[in-house]
Structure 1
Amino acid sequence: MIFKTLQTNLTNLDERLNLAKKLGYYNLDKLNQALLKITQAKSLDEFLQNGYYDYFYTSENLVLKLAKIYGLDILDELNSAKKLNDEVKKYKNSYIYIDTNFKRNTEPIFMLAMMQGVRYLYFDKKELVFKSLDKQLQFISKVVKNHYKKIKKLPLFGEITGYKFNHLGKSYSFDVDGALQYREIYENVAWIKI
């Protein structure tokens, strides 16, 4: 909430030159870049996650300095955002692989490698944080179910037969209805190395 107040203050800013001096910037270009990054961020954790550095400030230092200038106590919100980002980092290697009935015949390997991205289902990893494994699997089940409702067949790879959720070193298989199942799904992957 305090970050939103800070963003509002920066959006409605009249005295840019005065603020630039308070921050130690010698030209308005650096200030404008910093303000643009802050005001475009959806949240404080997103701003910290995307990072910012301009030889004067890191993203965290910039937020602290601006909060001090505007008399805002943002420390608790900053710590919460850092805690959230640390938790999200735990799940950076979690992903959903889409299994199909694909059998390679005459498809060139470069085409398979270029299309490899359609075999992965992307989701917001923030939805996994601070939840039990059961709640995380329920969320993935909904993601899988919604995906299959929309897309039953992948280009080039064919009919979807299941989903594999790789999470913290373990694999969980789901059928097309989002039900957890006990079968092994093997990932078929094509890579081109240049």
Structure 2
Amino acid sequence: MNQKRCKIAVLASGTGTNFRAIAEACRGERFPAEVACLISDNPEAKALSIAEEFGVPYHLIVGGEKRGHLPKESEEEIVSICRGAGVDLVALAGFMRILKGPLLDAYDGRILNIHPSLLPSFKGLHAQEQAFDYGVKVSGCTVHFVDRSVDGGPIIIQAAVPVEEGDDADTLAARILKEEHRIYAKAIELFAMGRLKIEGRKVEVMDTPPSG
């Protein structure tokens, strides 16, 4: 008997490249997860056309006028959509809104985010530019659990990307993005297999999922 696949809701505001990577990974026969729906706050997001390409149901929510913030009613709508679709895991993929309440409460320990830096360095917007301007020799990306802080939840997996001679912020960002696609799918796979255990600020990757 096949094990039940983990159902994912992806939240995206823009180009949807990480959403595409997740959707492509979920097409694999042995991948333990599937995309149940896409939710976006942007009617012009390219992620919507990717959802159509992959046959993924999508929903538009009201983002509100305050940049970066999400009205409580919209967050409650996300919870309703996720519950209606039987969602097990929420994956933020370039979702440009800060979550504050209802979704965090409903899916505590079941929300992931990808950030284009080696956290805890360079939190917030334009992380690749921050890293480049600071002069670091190594940057990268991080998949972490989402909590009430900004880019501060427990870290699941990271990938290092060297800064090369001749790089600018754009070329560095492009190489980081390739690693984002790789490690986000891996983090989702680990979650879906029940192999992630949060212990305070640390995430243990178990060899096998806990029994029972």
TM range (shorter): under 0.3
- The structure where helix makes up a greater share of residues is 1
TM-score, with normalisation over the residues of structure 2? Answer: 0.20
Larger radius of gyration: 1
TM-score, with normalisation over the residues of structure 1? Answer: 0.22
